[in-house]
Structure formats: structure tokens, C-alpha cells
């Protein structure tokens, strides 16, 4: 399992539960928030208590759970003020249709709705309901009102529902809520910038069942796509074959070969302000892949392949008349400084990020060396997401100056 990053360290989160079958997922969410360093204070509505007990939530968070505005455990007897004081965000998961309606009209008839009305911190809600309830004009009107009031809606998504139906209204998964919350707190260093990335290996066919590829896992490129999205950018990720999940909010275009990657990049690059080439692109492809599976025949010679060079995506983008800010990557096995600076010059990119292939490929953590015209700086060692956030900050700083 990937290492957990404490990217909510020092954050104090009020986790509000309202009445819905998805309330059981909040138990898992409470754990995940704490693993990421957050302090979690749970507040439940009476309806939520029909689905999951306060005891469960208390045991998971180690904090007393509050359910009533008349709770005498709060010293000032003003739970709605005391609990939200010092909170960095209120997160309502799940948010029922009824609770959204209350929020939209500013009702304050129980502890959680009063807390939301009296807050001076951001409010994020994850709707969860049956598709008819979500699709009802009243709920849609409430959702729009909440957005207009600055409330962040996380989801919902479409899928199987507890009632047996399939449709929109299903709550996003706890890990997705967590990803959204973590992103919410990241500095918006690339707000509204368009970022195009390549990631992963490419796959060059030999015949319908065989091909040439490399050991790139795609992890660094995917971490960068996530970090750019967290920083407020609109992100397109052109990805070779990987087993990785697409980060939330990132538009992924799947490709296999270097030529397909080149075509996908060229079709979108004119809109991009930043291009980051992280993919390990095959330098050559087989001139004529066989249309049929190549068979080994007794006594017949081993096949000999003729190779053609693939287009250099990064160099082509950097040579455009009005190029985006280009960042290249180089995984080298030796002479990293010399090879990386030489690559930066040949490909004419302002920034080239080097790492040692033996440290980088497939690993969850490594070190990055950033080369520019002034020299080199080292980022890390750290996990890839932390490195990606640091690199995004380096890029943002260069773009703004
Ligand atoms: N790159 C690219 N298109 C290619 C080859 C490489 O866009 N056809 C990009 C990579 O995504 C990376 C940078 O160029 O950002 C350097 O890739 P690398 O494979 O290290 O460089 P090469 O030019 O292929 O040099 P070599 O393999 O000889 O080290």
C-alpha cells in the first residue's frame, strides 16, 4: 500500500453526518482523515443516528460526538459557536436532500445546521440520495443555491444505489472525498492555467500479441497531474498504458504508441500554457508490425526487426512558434548532471528534471534534481506526490516571474 502523507496535518475538521445509508462510509472517512493528520470532531443529526451510532464515531475519532445544540458538555452551553471555533472546514458527509434544503434556506433547527450557519470556515458537502430525489427540481435548485453561496459540492456521482436503482445521486467514495478535501487546502498556484502532461510508458507493437515497452510506472506523471489539478489548473493527461487510477478532475487521454501520444499532444497543445513531458517515450518503433502472430518454426531463423525513430514530442512542442512553458524529464543510469543539462539544451526547454533511473522507476519515493539556466536544485527525498507539489511550486514561481 502507498505511504500515507500527512497532508491534513494541523487541520481541524468538523465531520457532519446526516441521515442516509451512506453514513456508514463516514466511519471509514473519519479514519482516513485522521491518518492524513487531521483532528476530527463528529457532529450528527438525529436522522444520522438512525444509520450509525455516535459510539462508533466516538470510538473511531477518540473525541466525544455531539448531536444536540443543548449539549451541556460544551462549557459555554453554545455548542454551535464553540465547536466551529478554530475549525478549518466543515465537511458534511453524507448530505441528505433534506439537509441540503435546510442549508439552502439558512435553517438552523438542529446542532449541525446551526453550526453551518454560524461558521466562519469553508463548508464542503457530499450529497447522497436516491436518483429521483437528486434529480428533483427542488434539490437541483438547492444545489445551485448552495454553490452560489460558496458551498463546495463534492459529487454526487452515478452508479448503484442502496434502493436498488442505478443513477445520479450516489455519494462519492470516502477516498474521493479525502482527495477533494486535500486538494481544497492546497495553494492555488496555477489557478485556471491549462496544463498538458504525458505520462507512463509507450507500447510499440511487434505483432497483435507482443510489443516493446519500458519499466515506467507512470506514478510521477500521475502525481504531477494531481498536483497541478490541486493547484487550480485545468489538466489534460496523455497517458500510455498504466494500472493507475486517473486523479479526480483530470482529463485523461489514453494512448499506446509514441505516435498516438504525439498526435494527442499536438491536438491539444495549442491551448496549453504549461507542457510537462514525463512519459518514457519509446525512441523507436518497428517499421512494419506483423498483422498476424509471429510463429516460431522449427529450424526457421529468429526474426529480425527494422526500427524507425519516433517523433520527439517534447522537442517538437518546445520548437513551436509560441510554445507553452516546457518541462522535460530524464531518468538516467549515470552522469546525471551532464546528461540532464545536455538534454535541456538539445530539447530547448527552460526546465529539465532529472533522476536516477535505478531510484525512480516504480518507486514510491525518490529525489528530483531540477536543472535550469542557473544550475540545479534538489527536491526531496520524498514521496512522489510531495515531490510533484514541490515541482509545481517551482514551475509556478518561474511562470509568474
Ligand atoms: N521525450 C519525448 N518524446 C520522445 C522521447 C522523449 O517527448 N520521443 C521526452 C520525455 O518525455 C522526457 C524527455 O523527452 O521529458 C527526455 O526523455 P529521454 O527518454 O530521457 O530522452 P531521449 O531524448 O529519448 O534520450 P535518450 O533516450 O537517448 O537518453
Asked whether 324 and 274 are in contact (CB, 8 A), the reply is: yes
The count of other CB atoms within 10 Å of the CB of residue 48 is 26
* Residue 346 CA, closest ligand 1 atom number: 23
**pLDDT in 10s for each residue of the chain, 401 residues:** 567 889 999 999 999 999 999 999 999 999 999 999 999 999 999 999 999 999 999 999 999 999 998 888 877 767 777 788 889 999 999 999 999 999 999 999 999 999 999 999 999 999 999 999 999 999 999 999 999 999 999 999 998 888 888 889 999 999 999 999 999 999 999 999 999 999 999 999 999 999 999 999 999 999 999 999 999 999 999 999 999 999 999 999 999 999 999 999 999 999 999 999 999 999 999 999 999 999 988 777 889 999 999 999 999 999 999 999 999 999 898 999 999 999 999 999 999 999 887 766 667 778 999 999 999 999 999 999 999 999 999 999 999 98
DSSP 118: T
Phi, psi of 15 (to 5 degrees): -100, 110
- Residue from 262, 141, 104 nearest 196 by CA: 262
361 SS3 class = coil
Place of cell 427542488: 138
Asked whether 330 and 360 are in contact (CB, 8 A), the reply is: no
Q: List pLDDT tens digits, range 149-180.
A: 999 999 999 988 888 888 899 999 999 999 99
DSSP 280: B
CATH of 194-285+307-400, one of 3.40.50.10300, 3.40.50.1820, 3.30.70.3340, 3.40.50.360: 3.40.50.10300
393 SS3 class = helix
- For ligand 1, atom 17, the nearest C-alpha belongs to 330
Q: How far apart are CA 350 and CA 196, in angstroms?
A: 16
- Measure 309 CA to ligand 1 centroid, in angstroms: 12
- Measure 8 CA to ligand 1 centroid, in angstroms: 36
pTM of the model: 0.94
Is the domain covering 12-185 a CATH 3.40.50.1950 domain? yes
* Residue 339 CA, closest ligand 1 atom number: 29
- Measure 222 CA to ligand 1 centroid, in angstroms: 18
- Establish whether the linkage from the previous residue to 156 is cis, with ω within 30° of 0: yes
- Residue from 175, 176, 186 nearest 155 by CA: 176
Residue 360, pLDDT score: 63
Sign of torsion over alpha carbons 173, 178, 181, 187: negative
Residue 150, pLDDT score: 98
88 SS3 class = coil
Q: List pLDDT tens digits, range 316-328.
A: 999 999 999 999 9
Residue 361, pLDDT score: 66
Grid cell of 331 as nine digits: 531518468
- For ligand 1, atom 8, the nearest C-alpha belongs to 312
- Residue from 312, 316, 387 nearest 353 by CA: 387
Residue 41, pLDDT score: 96
Q: How many helices (DSSP H) and strands (DSSP E) are in the chain?
A: 14, 19
307 pairs with which residues across the strands? 286
Residue 70, pLDDT score: 86
Ligand 1 site-directed mutation target among 281, 332, 346, 395, most atoms within 8 Å of CB: 281
* Residue 314 CA, closest ligand 1 atom number: 7
- Measure 330 CA to ligand 1 centroid, in angstroms: 7
- Measure 381 CA to ligand 1 centroid, in angstroms: 23
Asked whether 140 and 130 are in contact (CB, 8 A), the reply is: no
* Residue 310 CA, closest ligand 1 atom number: 8
Residue 296, pLDDT score: 86
Q: How far apart are CA 392 and CA 252, in angstroms?
A: 19
Ligand 1 site-directed mutation target among 260, 265, 283, most atoms within 8 Å of CB: 283
Residue 368, pLDDT score: 94
Ligand 1 site-directed mutation target among 310, 319, 324, 328, most atoms within 8 Å of CB: 328
36 SS3 class = coil
Q: How far apart are CA 401 and CA 396, in angstroms?
A: 9
Residue 383, pLDDT score: 93
Asked whether 18 and 47 are in contact (CB, 8 A), the reply is: yes
Q: How far apart are CA 400 and CA 213, in angstroms?
A: 37
Ligand 1 site-directed mutation target among 330, 333, 339, 340, most atoms within 8 Å of CB: 330
- Pocket lined around ligand 1, Cβ cut-off 6 Å: 198, 258, 277, 279, 281, 283, 310, 312-314, 328-330, 343
Q: Which of 116, 121, 163, 326 is catalytic?
A: 163
* Cα pseudo-dihedral 172, 80, 121, 3, rounded to 10: -50
- The Cα-based distances of 392 to 10, 125, 188 in angstroms read 23, 28, 10
- For ligand 1, atom 22, the nearest C-alpha belongs to 283
- Residue from 34, 35, 67, 25 nearest 49 by CA: 67
Check if 326 is active-site: no
- Measure 325 CA to ligand 1 centroid, in angstroms: 17
- For ligand 1, atom 20, the nearest C-alpha belongs to 330
* Domain pair 12-185 / 194-285+307-400, same fold: yes
Boundaries of every domain in the chain? 12-185, 194-285+307-400
- Measure 280 CA to ligand 1 centroid, in angstroms: 7
Amino acid at each position: 500500500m502507498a505511504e500515507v502523507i500527512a497532508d491534513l496535518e494541523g487541520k481541524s475538521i468538523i465531520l457532519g453526518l446526516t441521515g442516509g445509508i451512506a453514513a456508514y462510509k463516514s466511519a471509514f472517512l473519519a479514519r482516513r482523515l485522521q491518518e492524513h493528520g487531521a483532528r476530527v470532531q463528529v457532529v450528527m443529526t438525529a436522522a444520522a443516528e438512525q444509520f450509525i451510532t455516535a459510539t462508533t464515531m466516538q470510538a473511531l475519532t477518540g473525541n466525544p460526538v455531539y448531536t444536540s445544540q443543548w449539549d451541556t458538555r460544551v462549557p459555554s452551553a453554545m455548542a454551535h459557536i464553540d465547536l466551529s471555533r478554530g475549525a478549518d472546514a466543515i465537511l458534511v458527509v453524507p448530505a441528505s436532500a433534506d439537509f441540503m434544503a435546510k442549508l439552502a434556506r439558512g435553517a438552523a433547527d438542529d446542532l449541525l445546521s446551526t453550526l453551518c450557519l454560524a461558521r466562519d470556515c469553508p463548508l464542503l458537502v457530499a450529497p447522497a440520495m436516491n436518483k429521483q430525489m437528486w434529480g428533483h427540481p427542488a434539490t437541483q435548485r438547492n444545489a445551485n443555491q448552495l454553490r452560489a453561496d460558496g458551498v463546495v459540492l463534492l459529487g454526487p456521482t452515478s452508479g448503484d444505489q442502496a434502493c436498488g436503482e442505478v443513477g445520479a445521486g450516489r455519494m462519492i467514495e470516502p477516498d474521493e472525498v479525502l482527495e477533494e478535501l486535500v486538494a481544497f487546502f492546497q495553494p492555488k498556484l496555477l489557478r485556471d492555467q491549462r496544463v498538458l502532461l504525458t505520462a507512463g510508458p509507450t507500447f510499440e507493437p511487434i505483432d497483435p500479441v507482443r510489443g516493446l515497452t519500458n519499466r515506467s510506472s507512470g506514478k510521477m506523471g500521475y502525481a504531477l497531474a494531481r498536483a497541478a489539478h490541486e493547484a487550480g489548473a485545468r489538466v489534460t493527461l496523455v497517458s500510455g498504458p498504466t494500472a493507475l487510477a486517473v486523479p479526480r478532475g483530470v482529463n485523461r487521454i489514453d494512448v499506446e504508441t509514441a505516435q498516438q501520444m504525439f498526435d494527442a499532444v499536438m491536438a491539444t497543445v495549442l491551448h496549453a500554457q504549461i507542457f510537462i513531458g514525463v512519459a518514457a517515450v519509446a525512441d523507436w518503433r518497428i517499421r512494419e508490425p506483423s498483422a498476424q502472430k509471429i510463429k516460431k518454426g522449427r529450424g526457421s531463423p529468429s526474426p529480425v526487426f527494422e526500427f524507425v525513430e519516433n517523433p520527439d514530442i517534447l522537442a517538437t512542442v518546445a520548437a513551436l512558434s509560441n510554445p507553452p512553458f516546457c518541462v522535460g524529464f530524464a531518468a538516467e543510469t549515470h552522469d546525471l548532471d551532464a546528461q540532464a543539462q545536455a538534454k535541456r539544451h538539445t530539447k530547448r526547454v527552460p526546465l529539465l528534471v532529472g533522476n536516477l533511473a535505478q531510484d525512480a522507476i516504480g518507486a514510491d519515493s525518490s529525489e528530483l534534481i531540477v536543472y535550469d539556466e542557473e544550475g540545479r536544485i534538489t527536491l526531496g527525498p520524498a514521496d512522489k506526490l510531495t515531490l510533484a507539489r514541490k515541482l509545481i511550486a517551482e514551475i509556478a514561481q518561474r511562470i509568474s516571474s
